[in-house]
Amino acid sequence: MFVPVKSKSSKQLMPTHANKAGMLIKKGLATPYWSNGIFCIRLNYATEDEYTQDIVVGVDPGSKKEGLSVKSEAHTYLNIQAEAHNKVAKKVAKRRELRRSRRSRKCPNRRNKKNRNAGKEKLPAGTRARWDWKLRILDWLSKLYPVTHVCVEDIKARTIERAKKWNQSFSPLEVGKQWFYTAIRKRWQLLTLQGWETKEIRDRLGLKKSSNKLSETFSAHCIDSWCLAYHTVGGVSMPENTDIFSIAPIPIKRRCLHREQESKGRQRNRYGGTVLGKGLVKNTLIKHAKYGLTRLAGVNAKGFFSIYTLEGKRLTTGAKRNDFRVLTRLNFNYRSGHSSQT
């Protein structure tokens, strides 16, 4: 196991062994901290030699699950299996439906605003969320490791005969992919491989991919992302680290400001938003006196808080403010995975 290291000047250094990190912490030469479930250290002394090696992130996009692997020539530091961000389009459609239904009611409402996006190049909300989710993960990984390269498995939209140009220009997949590639080139070196090239690398190394794409195992998606990283920096032909770290987008009800079903008195209860009051927001990592590490999910009219596990299971709806200690804001849900390749 390797621990990400940050210098005193906040520069990302090469990861170190867990034993060495523990020794530095024990001597007071480093300060431990957590970054969305990853244990890291920050050095307390100035370093002269800040030499770093090439570190690549292999990205295997998918419709439901995605794989990312962080690798140098010598070691595999982290394998991530992420759930795809694919629910925003339905939320936007429902928001439009509720907005149009309000306009037909006999009640005061504001005039339509001018379309501020008219004539501007923009992505559909669902497409932007899907590809921006990958970019957010890369940005988080670059704060842990000195990432230099990103290798992505290039995916293409289904091409209709006599309509190749139309697909490349208007397909949400193609448009979102090009936006993603442009954002990567601004910060890292981008490499792309076709799906059949990834399969050739996997077959040449004797690695077998699982047929169960929804399983939380290394062989489901991370095996492809590892092959992409291996193709970029080389190294040992067999992955020495097959543990996976599973993450998922936090289901924020930002686009649903009230419940669709009316309560008594034809009142629509507040439902969306992220602010809980008293300086607290949803999806904050807390340490509860009884349940340990949990996250805030809501607050009711009586002032009691709802807390959930990091996997999304509800624990209680009656937590008091004095029962927990606020730690940090979460960017996504996370949980440790398995080390088996089956």
pLDDT digits (tens, 9 = 90+) for 113-127: 787 777 766 788 888
- Which residues, in sequence order, are CB contacts of 223 under 8 Å at separation 6+? 67, 202, 207, 209, 210, 239, 341
Give residue 282's pLDDT band: very low, low, confident or very high (50, 70, 90).
confident
Question: What pLDDT is recorded for position 260?
Answer: 77
Cβ neighbour number for residue 308 with a 10 Å cutoff: 19
Match 């996976």 to its residue by tokens. Answer: 244
Segment 135-161 mean pLDDT? 89
* Contacts by residues 274-282 (CB-CB < 8 Å, ≥ 24 positions apart): 276/305, 278/321, 280/305, 280/326, 281/329, 282/252
Question: What pLDDT is recorded for position 337?
Answer: 54
340 pLDDT exceeds 50?
no
> How far apart (Å, rounded) are the C-alpha atoms in residues 145 and 96?
41
Segment 182-205 mean pLDDT? 94
166 pLDDT exceeds 60?
no
In sign, the C-alpha dihedral spanning 66, 246, 328, 279 is: positive
Question: What pLDDT is recorded for position 138?
Answer: 96
Segment 158-169 mean pLDDT? 57
Which of 66-75, 210-219, 289-298 has the highest average model confidence (pLDDT)? 66-75
Q: 3-class secondary structure for the chain?
A: CEEEEECCCCCEEEEEEHHHHHHHHHCCCEEEEEECCEEEEEECCCCCCCCCCCCEEEEECCCCEEEEEEECCCCEEEEEEEECCCCHHHHHHHHHHHHHHHHCCCCCCCCCCCCCCCCCCCCCHHHHHHHHHHHHHHHHHHCCCCCCEEEEECCCCCCCCCCHHHHHHHCHHHHHHHHHHHHHHCCCEEEEECHHHHHHHHHHHCCCCCCCCCCCCHHHHHHHHHHHHHHHHCCCCCCCCCCCEEEECCCCCCCCCECCCCCCCCCCCECCCCEEECCEECCEEEEECCCEEEEEEEECCCCCEEEECCCCCEEEEEECHHHEEEEEECCCEEEECCCCCC
* Percent of the chain predicted with pLDDT > 70: 92
Q: With beta carbons less than 8 A apart as the criterion, state whether 174 and 156 touch.
A: yes
Give residue 159's pLDDT band: very low, low, confident or very high (50, 70, 90).
low
Give residue 51's pLDDT band: very low, low, confident or very high (50, 70, 90).
confident
> How far apart (Å, rounded) are the C-alpha atoms in residues 36 and 145?
14
Stretch among 107-111, 133-137, 288-292 having the lowest mean pLDDT: 107-111
| Mean per-residue pLDDT of the chain | 87
92 pLDDT exceeds 90?
no
* Percent of the chain predicted with pLDDT > 90: 52
Which of 8-12, 184-188, 277-281, 336-340 has the highest average model confidence (pLDDT)? 184-188
Per-residue pLDDT tens over the stretch 234-256: 999 999 999 999 999 887 776 67
Question: What pLDDT is recorded for position 169?
Answer: 56
341 pLDDT exceeds 50?
no
